[in-house]
Amino acid sequence: MLHAKIIDLSKEKIKSENAEEFIASSKFGASIIFYGTVRENNENKKVTGITYDSHDELVIKSFKAIYNEADQKLNIKNKSVFIEHVKGYVGLGELSIIIAVACPHRSEAYDLSRYIIEEIKKRSPIWKKEHYKNKNSEWLKGNPIQAN
């Protein structure tokens, strides 16, 4: 079971309770929720916020591909995965991504959560522009999108 969505911050906010509700089930013995937040320092630059942009349709496609690949690579058949990533401006300490997973066992939940975030960072067409205390900003170099 997969929930995958881009949250346009001009229209709505990420709500952690949605992730919690989605993965709640007595058939799972382990649940992990990963929160990605904006940190105040990157490469010795004082960050004030980040603007995220994305190709929404391709991002959702990549989330689904990552979920399906996890079946083959990690062999976790009984699982629930919730992924939401923001689009728009995010301030310090605010959520940029939530990944919630529920699996029968804790080792599977940890492996699945880690696999998903690492693959999203490598493959999903999400770009970020950091804003700095000195009023400058710059688009960060991302990882090239791998062809499937």
Domain ranges in the chain are: 2-139
Helix, strand, coil percent values for the chain (each to nearest 5): 30, 40, 30
Does the model's pTM come out above 0.85?
A: yes
Bridge partners (DSSP) listed for residue 4: 83
DSSP 8-state symbol, 124? S
pLDDT at residue 71 in the model:
83
pLDDT by residue (tens digit) across 38-56?
999 988 999 999 999 999 9
Q: Strand, coil or helix: what is 47?
A: strand
Q: How far apart are CA 32 and CA 18, in angstroms?
A: 14
pLDDT by residue (tens digit) across 66-125?
999 998 899 888 899 999 999 999 999 999 999 999 999 999 999 999 999 999 999 999
Q: Answer whether residue 148 shows pLDDT above 50.
A: no
Tokens of 123: 């493959």
Q: Which amino acid is at 124?
A: S
140: pLDDT confidence band, cut at 50, 70 and 90? confident
The interaxial angle of helices 106-123 and 56-74, nearest 10 deg, is 140
CATH of 2-139, one of 2.160.20.10, 3.40.50.620, 3.90.1170.40, 3.90.550.10: 3.90.1170.40
pLDDT at residue 135 in the model:
85
Q: What is the residue whose two structure tokens read 């700095």?
A: 132
